[in-house]
Copies of this chain bind each other. A is one copy, B any other.
Amino acid sequence: MTIIGPQGFRAAGLAAGIKDGERLDLALVVNDGPQHAAAGLFTTNQVKAAPVLWSQQVLAGGALRGVVLNSGGANACTGPEGFQTTHATAEKAAELLGCGAGEIAVCSTGIIGEQLPRAKVLAGLEKAVAGLADTVVAGTAAATAVLTTDSRPKQVQIVDDDGWSVGGFAKGSGMIAPAMATMLVVLTTDAVADAATCEAALRNAVEWTFNRLDIDGGTSTNDTVLLLASGASEVTVSVDELTSTLTAACAALCQELQADAEGATKRVSVSVRGARSDADALTVARTVSQDNLCKTAWFGSDPNWGRIAMAVGRSAAMVDPERLAITINGVAMCRDGVAAGDRHAADLAGPEILVEIDLGVGDGVGGILTTDLSHAYVEENSAYSS
41-91 of chain A: CB within 8 A of chain B: 44-48, 74, 76-79, 81-82
Q: Are the C-beta atoms of B339 and A114 separated by less than 8 Å?
A: yes
Q: Which residue in B175, B300, B314, B344 is a CB contact (below 8 Å) of A46?
A: B314
Q: 16 A–B contact pairs at CB < 8 A?
A: A46-B321, A48-B313, A77-B309, A77-B337, A77-B339, A82-B338, A113-B305, A113-B338, A216-B292, A220-B310, A221-B313, A297-B385, A299-B378, A300-B381, A373-B378, A377-B378
- Chain B residues positioned under 8 Å from A375 (CB to CB): 375, 378-379
A112 to B314, CA, bound (A): 14
Cβ-defined partner of A79 (8 Å) among B312, B315, B336, B378 = B336
Given A221-B309, A296-B377, 9 more A-B residue pairs with CB atoms under 8 Å apart are: A46-B313, A77-B321, A78-B339, A82-B338, A218-B314, A219-B310, A296-B382, A300-B383, A344-B386
Across-interface contacts of A221 in B (CB, < 8 A): 306, 309-310, 313
A360 at the interface (CB under 8 A from B): no
Q: Give the number of chain A interface residues (Cβ < 8 Å).
A: 72
List chain B residues, Cβ under 8 A from A322.
79
A374 touches which of B304, B339, B378 (Cβ 8 Å): B378
| Known contacts A292-B217, A384-B302: A113-B47 contact under CB 8 Å | no
A200-223 at interface with B (beta carbon < 8 Å): 216-221
How many angstroms between the C-alpha atoms of A292 and B175 in the bound complex?
A: 9
Q: Which of A307, A333, A336 has the most chain B CB atoms inside 10 A of its CB?
A: A307
Also in contact, A46 and B302, with CB within 8 A (given A218-B292, A385-B297): no
Distance in angstroms between the alpha carbons of A254 and B44 in the assembled complex:
34
